[in-house]
Amino acid sequence: MATSPSFLLLSFFFFFFFFTTLPVSATDHIVGANRGWNPGINYTLWANNHTFYVGDYISFRYQKNQYNVFMVNQTGYDNCTTEGAIGNWTSGKDFILFNKTMRYYFICGNGQCMNGMKVSVFVHPLPSPPPSSSDQLHSTPKSAAPMILEHLGLKSLMLSFVFVLFGFVLV
């Protein structure tokens, strides 16, 4: 049961275009990367190094029972207060979906906010496809296209490879 190269090629292109034209799985932004959610880290530097889009997740990894996560407004972020918090998480591995274009504020609610356990991120709308020529005057800059490729293309490419391999095993 040999798999013909043309079949593989066909699957590759099928999945490539399939996943390029559909929304793909979201990015999970792990706060602090391998340093996690802990005191003494400048999370502004971490946030500046990432671009967040609607549909992405932010995740907090920390010692359960020691720390926690509160979603607050700007006042809560600036003053390290959890009064009127919008939400709170305590599992030690919390995934939070960005479902809106806005600035999000998170702080730790046990006093460690004062020691840097606070992070604020701006969530961008998903880059839209280049507008039709009639809209071009006052809308998306030309750089939107590379952004889409950067955001969707690489993942689609990787997914395509996975599916091609998968198809190869099945055939």
CA quadruple 11, 12, 17, 22: dihedral sign = positive
Q: How many CA atoms lie within 13 A of 164 on its CB side?
A: 21
Piece in contact with ligand NAG (CB under 6 A), picked from 11-19, 84-92, 149-157, 161-169: 84-92
Nearer to ligand NAG among residue 87 and residue 131 (C-beta): 87
- For residue 154, the one-letter residue type is L
Is residue 2 a contact point for ligand NAG (CB under 6 A)?
A: no
Residue nearest to ligand NAG (CB): 84
Nearer to ligand NAG among residue 21 and residue 44 (C-beta): 44
Element (H, E) at 147: helix 144-148
* Secondary structure of residue 129 in the 3-state scheme: coil
Is residue 125 a contact point for ligand NAG (CB under 6 A)?
A: no
- For residue 67, the one-letter residue type is Y
Shortest Å, Cβ 149 to ligand NAG:
18
Is residue 55 a contact point for ligand NAG (CB under 6 A)?
A: no
Q: How many CA atoms lie within 13 A of 153 on its CB side?
A: 7
Q: Name which of residues 61 to 80 contact ligand NAG (CB under 6 A).
A: 73-76, 79
Shortest Å, Cβ 150 to ligand NAG:
13
Shortest Å, Cβ 118 to ligand NAG:
9
d(CA 18, CA 1): 27
